[in-house]
Amino acid sequence: MSRIAATFARLRAANHQGLIPFITAGDPSIEVTVPLMHALVEAGANMVELGVPFSDPMADGPVIQRASERALHAGTNLGHVLEMVREFRQRNADTPVILMGYLNPFEIAGYDAFAKAAADAGVDGVLTVDLPPEEAGEFLAAVRSNHLDLIFLLAPTSDEARIRRICDTASGFVYYVSLKGVTGASNLDVVSVAEKVKEIKRFTQLPVGVGFGISDGKTAAEIATVSDAVVVGSVLVKAIESMLDRPQEIPKTLAAVVADMRQAMDASAETPAAG
Amino acid sequence: MARLLNEPPEERLLGQLPDARGHFGPYGGCFVAETLMGPIRELKEAYALYARDPEFLAEFHQDLKHYVGRPSPLYLAERWTKKLGGARIYLKREDLNHTGAHKVNNTVGQALLAKRMGKTRIIAETGAGQHGVATATVAARLGLECVVYMGEEDIHRQAPNVFRMKLLGAKVVSVTSGSKTLKDALNEAMRDWVTNIDNTYYIIGTVAGPHPYPAMVRDFNSVIGREAREQILEQAGRLPDALIACVGGGSNAMGLFYPFIDDSEVALYGVEAGGDGIETGRHAAPLTAGKPGVLHGNRTYLMEDVDGQIIPTHSISAGLDYPGVGPEHAWLKDTGRAQYVTIDDREALAAFHDLTRTEGIIPALESAHALAQAGKLAPTMRGDDIIVVSLSGRGDKDIQTVAAIEGMDL
């Protein structure tokens, strides 16, 4: 069983939902990322989503754009990102790591070479924001043959035919983009998320994670009652941005934010009225 | 893809592209986040429908005639021809269009489409400001809300166009992310679109972006080549030997080339911005010095580093200052149907002055790149050979730039 499948199986058995923090690899420096990943896991993260910085992150809001710029400024490239995962794996054999990025850095590395190196480093899944299934053929084959999951997005604008098609192609879990907008937006509507997740679940046994616009424990808890996992990014990256003058405090501070969310999610899971 | 009153539906070789999913060989396609896939399908279906709709086409052509002022003249530049001493040079005068460039051909078409689709808000990206002005213009005319994204750098160097957009009622948003130029304006417009898809239509200004934009923008601009073909047959009694157009994203070039694609005796030259010179790395010539990759919704040649990060570009002309290029140009390059060359800042500036002094026409700095290539090519050809150059825009917007470079105070 893959690390991702095993993680969701454990969560299901415990009647808990997954908490998946996103950070941009190399933000604000290459050294900070691995200790930060460990701190997030110790605070209750079930999976880590590691952003691969790109010069033109079209689907991201200003917070994650700036994180990408800082990481690139620090000299982070795909090779560094894979090294970080390898180093993380020396102390953590169980927590899945997903790379989230845009296609071009993977494309220039070569799909097969990238997928092989990623699997070798201990990556579990890849999410390419600008690669819909229509264009994914070759990349999907490369990723699959190296036993990695390719995580696909679904959105409020995805109709039934697309949901069906993407669920048929996806593995690992399905990532539902909770709103029309970019990462870090603030127009999240829990009721419509609940409806859409229910619709998605008609077509797949895969867990459904929800992300974009989840910025506090309360919202995370609400979303957790209607999904299998919650992805949080901008709120963490914003905290990093506020600590650029004291990077040594970043792991501790972000761990506190994640611990808060964990607690809120677990508390609401134990409240019978919820959901 | 449907053609807008394009030539008889005879068997076409390259003209049949793109395929149903927007591919020109390995290029093009639709590389966007899932949220945009629905809206893009809606756009694709609407375009396929209206591109065949006689009423829509009649309205489009009426607007081109009475609002844009088409057909634009095809003008034999006799003094300049004599000075260069070689092939006869005809200028396709897109600079005489309303708003002063070819960009309006496309915005008129897309705005009509937006209206048919029931959208009430128009957004656009702009580099030199010509596409922004052309968009603000049609939005004003149709009473649609308009927001234009423009890099902070470009806002400084194209101040007159910024003011024109504001006069036309558009909101101009200064983009401060990344390199603060056209590519970042495009990123920002995409972010707006994904956030406001219910009421918003995104008018992309060039033959790039996710399918169907490259084909659609080409189709709306192919009026340039259709007219030029008719006009040269009428004036010279035969097809030209060469076509020359500047290529940033490449919309005026695609518009001129497309109706000649199957005329294999007509050589096609696309001119990229050589900036300070290809060897300096400070240029905007992805077809000449870049590599294929994926950016802004399509696969095409890009200016990128070894890690696949997009690198800053440089050109004297803001309209050519873009790290990508339309995917159909990438395909025309690989197939050898078109040749792509570069003209550097200095050569473009010299051609700018040359045409102004010999013909009394001030060209845009973008178009001056095509003119400079004509200046190189013409002397190598015979006196009865014919070159058609796309004079894609007028140079009024550039006089401040030229004055600053030459140390003049306006």
ipTM above 0.85, yes or no: yes
Domains of chain A (ranges; CATH) run 3-267 (3.20.20.70)
Q: Do B178 and A56 touch (CB under 8 A)?
A: yes
Q: Do B33 and A105 touch (CB under 8 A)?
A: no
For A153-162, A197-206, B154-163, which range has the lowest pLDDT when averaged over its residues? Answer: B154-163
Q: State the catalytic residues of B.
A: 103, 125, 392
Would you place residue A272 in the very low, low, confident or very high pLDDT band (cuts 50, 70, 90)? low
Q: What is the pLDDT of residues B304-351, one digit of tens each?
A: 999 999 999 999 998 999 999 999 999 999 999 999 999 999 999 999
φ/ψ (deg, to 5) at A137: -40, -65
Chain B residue numbers with beta carbons less than 8 Å from the beta carbon of A60 are 191
Nearest to B310 among A56, A109, A154 (CB): A56
Q: What percent of chain B has pLDDT over 70?
A: 96
Nearest to A153 among B33, B38, B184 (CB): B33
The pLDDT mean for chain B works out to 94
B4 pLDDT above the threshold of 60: no
Strands B171-175 and B200-202 turn out to be unpaired
Residue B98 burial (C-beta neighbours within 10 Å; 0-12, 13-18, 19+): middle
Nearest CA in chain A to B189: A58
pTM of the model: 0.95
Nearest CA distance, A76 vs chain B (angstrom):
10
What local confidence, expressed as pLDDT, does residue B375 receive?
Answer: 98
Would you place residue B5 in the very low, low, confident or very high pLDDT band (cuts 50, 70, 90)? very low
Closest by Cα among B7, B101, B160, B182 to B394: B101
CA distances from B379 to A182, B83, B108, B384 (A): 53, 10, 38, 12
A273 pLDDT above the threshold of 80: no
Q: Give residue for tokens 């992309």.
A: B204
Nearest to A55 among B36, B191, B310 (CB): B310
Residue ranges of E strands in A108-180: 125-128, 149-150, 152-154, 174-177
Closest by Cα among B101, B105, B99 to B136: B99
3-state secondary structure of B66: helix
Amino acid at B198: D
Q: What is the pLDDT of residues A112-131, one digit of tens each?
A: 999 999 999 999 999 999 99
Q: Do A158 and B37 touch (CB under 8 A)?
A: yes
Q: Do B308 and A108 touch (CB under 8 A)?
A: yes
Structure tokens at B70: 């088409």
Would you place residue A271 in the very low, low, confident or very high pLDDT band (cuts 50, 70, 90)? low
Would you place residue A184 in the very low, low, confident or very high pLDDT band (cuts 50, 70, 90)? confident
What local confidence, expressed as pLDDT, does residue B222 receive?
Answer: 96
Nearest CA in chain B to A153: B34
Q: What is the pLDDT of residues A75-115, one digit of tens each?
A: 999 999 999 999 999 999 999 999 999 999 999 999 999 99
Structure tokens at A21: 């923090």
Question: When comparing pLDDT for B154 and B26, which is higher?
Answer: B26
Chain B residue numbers with beta carbons less than 8 Å from the beta carbon of A105 are 307-309
Beta bridge partners of residue A87, listed in sequence order: none
Chain A residue numbers with beta carbons less than 8 Å from the beta carbon of B191 are 58-61, 181-182
Q: What is the pLDDT of residues B68-104, one digit of tens each?
A: 999 999 999 999 999 999 999 999 999 999 999 999 9
Nearest CA distance, A105 vs chain B (angstrom):
4
For B62-71, B124-133, B233-242, B324-333, which range has the lowest pLDDT when averaged over its residues? Answer: B124-133
What local confidence, expressed as pLDDT, does residue B153 receive?
Answer: 85
Residues of A contacting chain B (CB within 8 angstroms): 54-62, 65-66, 69, 72, 77-78, 102-109, 129-132, 134-135, 152-159, 162, 166, 177, 180-182, 185
The pLDDT mean for chain A works out to 95
Quick one: how far is CA B347 from the chain centroid?
20
